[in-house]
Amino acid sequence: MSKDTRRAKRGISLIYPRLIFPIAVGAVYAVLYIIFPEKALSAWAQSLNVLTNVAFPLCLVFVFMVLLNIALKPGHVGRLLGKKAGLRAATLATAAGIISAGPIYAWYPILRDLREKGASNSSLAIFLGNRAVKPFLLPVMISYFGWIYVLILTILTVLGSLAVGYVVEALDAHQKTS
């Protein structure tokens, strides 16, 4: 088997798992169309309408992704998280969480390594909490909920992550002393 063929097969095997879910949904539509054709068509039309509505915000998401890819690398995030404790560490962990991207399981080894180098539990908890704030996804969120709601939720998510960081640190200290 040629190298190109192996690579092509590997590419297909990476794509397939992502397609299983939409294909399964398509199969459900096909079955429901046979049983309830009018309802299935209505659901289809509603879904197309939703897709049309999110098309523009999704274009903005793509642009934001490009800009973030240019500006940020995982190494930047690691350096922001490397501080040991205090207000400065919390601020940097917040920034690191907000700008971090990609699947969480790719971050766990880095977080473990940073803790071994002295990053506090509160910094790690703050980082994980702020992963809920995704600047490049804001256009979609705003299109659904409006900017006032998104602004309030974003601020409170950041404050909430700081509270979770504090609680985790306090509980950890309490368990160690008791």
Q: Which of 5, 13, 175, 177 binds other proteins (CB under 8 A)?
A: 175
Separation CA 121–CA 85 (nearest Å): 9
- Are 125 and 110 in contact by the 8 Å Cβ rule? The answer is no
Rule CB under 8 A: which of 2-41 touch other proteins? 7, 10, 18-19, 21-22, 24-26, 28-29, 32, 36, 39-40
3-state secondary structure of 117: coil
Rule CB under 8 A: which of 106-135 touch other proteins? 106-115, 121, 124-125, 128-129, 131-132, 134
**Comparing C-alpha atoms, which of 59, 63, 71 is closest to residue 98?**
71
Rule CB under 8 A: which of 44-73 touch other proteins? 44-47, 50-51, 54, 61-62, 65-67, 69-70, 73
Separation CA 168–CA 82 (nearest Å): 18
Which residue bears the tokens 């890819």?
69
For position 104 contacting other proteins by CB under 8 A, the verdict is yes
- Quote the least distance from Cβ 91 to other proteins, whole Å: 19
- Quote the least distance from Cβ 109 to other proteins, whole Å: 4
> What is the gyration radius of the CA atoms in the chain, in angstroms?
22
For position 105 contacting other proteins by CB under 8 A, the verdict is yes
For position 85 contacting other proteins by CB under 8 A, the verdict is no
- Residue closer to other proteins by CB (options 88, 117) is 117
- Quote the least distance from Cβ 98 to other proteins, whole Å: 12
Q: Compute the half-sphere exposure of residue 143: CA atoms within 13 Å on the CB side of its CA.
A: 16
- Quote the least distance from Cβ 59 to other proteins, whole Å: 10
**Comparing C-alpha atoms, which of 49, 68, 69, 56 is closest to residue 135?**
68
Q: Which two tokens stand for residue 12?
A: 């297909």
- Residue closer to other proteins by CB (options 91, 157) is 157
